[in-house]
Amino acid sequence: QVQLVESGGGLVQAGGSLRLSCVASGRTFSRYAMGWFRTDPGNEREFVAGVSWSGSSTYYADSVKGRFTISRDNANNTVFLQMNSLLPEDTAVYYCAADSIRPWGSNRNPYEYDYWGQGTQVTVSS
């Protein structure tokens, strides 16, 4: 079983930056695609960014392209989400998730991810 723990959320003014981290347990982290999701206004989890098992391929929601960067450090079982130029619309609970089946990181369907962290709150003030 994989355990995921997010950190790095907080309160920031519009235009500011935050870096989220997600640390995974186990020895198989490097085989999993990883994604970041966030709650939308309807409290559904929407895709934010994904990264392939190797870190060589990344994918982003249109709303965050050019502002957010996903990366991973497999040696330390960690995935990051660097968030720049934050907007009030980015306010949400952010979750990291692992896909144990698909290695590409392009899967935007939260129901097809196998493991989830507890979430970390990001609040962006105007």
pLDDT at 111 over 90: yes
Q: What is the pLDDT of residues 26-76, one digit of tens each?
A: 777 888 999 999 998 788 999 999 999 999 999 999 999 999 999 999 999
What percentage of the chain reaches a pLDDT higher than 70? 100
**Cα torsion angle, 57, 84, 96, 44, sign:** negative
pLDDT at 7: 97
